[in-house]
């Protein structure tokens, strides 16, 4: 905490004690006191529109993003639900507003089949509304996609995460972004039992433990992007 305060002061910034919170994953009976003011310990914290949780962050965050996406969809319903409105305009509004709202901060998500499916289900429901088709009409998702031609949300998320992983791996200074990514538990081990999904797990599965070194070759990293994206694509549409 003192390191953060000092770095902030060097940049001309002063920490707001009332808005500053902290989380930790170990038991501690000591309070954090800054200038005689106690810093609140929390289980989750929202900052710049993204909520960070102490445990299982992605599942809750995706739920929030989907809810925000539907809210954005509702604000533009006069466009999406108008039968006379051209699909090209609906697609443009969706890709530039709804999609970006739903995927805000997706570069930091720990992806799983369950979370990507949750995103996919929400997007398909929106697409059906855009073209005026009900679920009971039993029209294939692939046929609806041919009509809407909107960006697949899982494809978009995977691309953004892969690009971000390459960017982080190529950082040459010791900024917090890199330090958090490379962080390991103090004893070098993770706890027993089924492990919680962490950010780099799917990257490691694709490229192995040398992924950060491989990412320094921009051309190779771009070539590998397609393989990473394909593992998340739905083959049952």
Q: Which of 127, 123, 125 is nearest to 144 (CA)?
A: 127
Question: pLDDT: is 117 or 3 the higher one?
Answer: 117
CB atoms within 10 A of CB 93: 19
pTM across the whole model: 0.78
What pLDDT was estimated at residue 192? 58
Q: What is the pLDDT averaged over residues 4-12?
A: 80
Q: What is the pLDDT averaged over residues 97-125?
A: 94
Q: State the Cα–Cα distance between residues 177 and 164, nearest whole angstrom.
A: 11
Q: State the Cα–Cα distance between residues 1 and 5, nearest whole angstrom.
A: 6
pLDDT in tens, 69-88: 999 999 999 999 999 999 99
- Do 210 and 69 meet the contact criterion of CB atoms below 8 Å apart? no
Q: Which of 130, 31, 34 is nearest to 90 (CA)?
A: 130
pLDDT in tens, 163-219: 999 998 888 877 767 666 666 555 555 555 555 668 888 899 888 888 989 999 999
């Amino acid at each position: 905490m003192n390191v953060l305060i000092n770095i902030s002061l060097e940049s001309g910034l002063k920490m707001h004690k009332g808005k500053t919170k902290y989380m930790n994953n170990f038991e501690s009976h000591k309070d954090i006191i800054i200038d005689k003011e106690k810093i609140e310990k929390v289980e989750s914290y929202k900052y710049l529109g993204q909520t960070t949780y102490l445990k299982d962050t992605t599942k809750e965050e995706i739920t929030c993003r989907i809810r925000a996406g539907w809210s954005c969809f509702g604000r533009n319903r006069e466009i999406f639900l108008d039968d006379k409105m051209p699909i090209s305009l609906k697609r443009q509004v969706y890709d530039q507003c709804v999609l970006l709202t739903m995927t805000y901060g997706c570069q930091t998500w720990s992806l799983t089949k369950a979370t990507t499916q949750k995103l996919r289900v929400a997007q398909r429901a929106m697409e059906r509304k855009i073209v005026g088709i009900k679920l009971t009409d039993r029209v294939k998702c692939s046929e609806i996609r041919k009509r809407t031609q909107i960006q697949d949300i899982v494809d978009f998320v995977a691309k953004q995460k892969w690009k971000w992983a390459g960017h982080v791996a190529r950082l040459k200074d010791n900024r917090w972004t890199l330090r958090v990514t490379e962080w390991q538990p103090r004893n070098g081990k993770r706890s027993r039992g089924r492990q919680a999904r962490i950010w780099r797990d799917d990257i490691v599965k694709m490229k192995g433990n040398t992924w950060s070194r491989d990412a320094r070759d921009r051309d190779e990293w771009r070539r590998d992007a397609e393989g990473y994206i394909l593992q998340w694509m739905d083959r049952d549409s």
